[in-house]
Amino acid sequence: MRQLLLITDGCSNVGMNPVVAAAHAKAEGITVNVIGVVERGESISSAEVEIEEIARAGGGMSRIVNTRQLSQTVQMMTRKTVVTTIQQAVNRELRQVFGAESVEALPPERRGEVVRVIDELGESSPLKVALLIDASASMRPKLAAVEEAIRDLVLSLQSRTGRSEIAVFHFPDSENGEGCVCDLDWTDNIAGVKRILPRLEMRGTTPTGPAMMQVIDFFRQGDYGRTIRGETDGMMGEDVV
């Protein structure tokens, strides 16, 4: 299972439309969730529509929350998406095997076993979550909360029985302001990582779409496997790693 979680607080303003990028992700089997993070009293109503549309195109969900709710939201959203992904797969099976449209269409007494299987798969299936962090100027005061939420997520993922990995990216890339930078490659343990997100020089641009495309590409690199890394290195954009 693969998820891309975008944490942002504003509209994209450079490059490809992020809604299109989210549709690309979905086509690659990556569910896109979006969290709009605000500080108390702050309003990001202008970005709300885009946040919602990105999530819809990416087959995921979106929430606007304040920094205090961020950890809990990241954790719940990730878990919920796992269950939904498994549920969709199980529903396909149900259609084929029982002719039932979904879990809900089964009589309650037959649901128990199916849901037990969903819960079991949700716990044990391998999971990869890429976190894409908007690090434009307005996000600066919120990055401590973002970092805390990432650590909290890893703690939750460690209690899963299946292999769970995260990777962390931020955008814009301060070099060219176009794409994103990988801060943390796939890992299941960040105990030794003092600081995930580097101190950033903030730039004005918010290239959400291009950054998402690069993360999708990063997922694809992972698919090729590390054994043939030498061959794929050349394919990686220089600004990804």
Q: Answer yes or no whether residue 217 interacts with another protein by CB under 8 A.
A: no
In angstroms, rounded to a whole number, what is the distance separating the alpha carbons of residues 50 and 39? 19
Judged by CB under 8 A, the chain residues 24 through 83 that form the site for another protein are 61, 71-72, 79, 83
> According to CB under 8 A, which one of 26, 56, 160, 220 is a site residue for another protein?
160
Q: Answer yes or no whether residue 116 interacts with another protein by CB under 8 A.
A: yes
SS3 call for 200: coil
Tokens of 4: 């891309």
Residue 207 in contact with residue 215, Cβ under 8 Å? no
SS3 call for 11: coil
User: Other C-beta atoms within 10 Å of 77: how many?
Assistant: 23
Q: How far is the CB of 119 from another protein (least distance, A)?
A: 6
Q: Answer yes or no whether residue 199 interacts with another protein by CB under 8 A.
A: no
Q: Which is nearer to another protein, 112 or 198 (CB)?
A: 112
Q: Which residues of 203-212 are buried (b: 16+ CB within 10 A; e: fewer)?
A: bebbbbbbbb
Q: Which is nearer to another protein, 118 or 213 (CB)?
A: 118
From the list 4-12, 38-46, 149-157, 214-222, the region that binds another protein by CB under 8 A is: 149-157
Residue 184 in contact with residue 223, Cβ under 8 Å? no
Residues that bind another protein (CB under 8 A): 61, 71-72, 79, 83, 87, 103-104, 107-109, 111-112, 114-116, 118-119, 123, 148, 151-152, 155-161
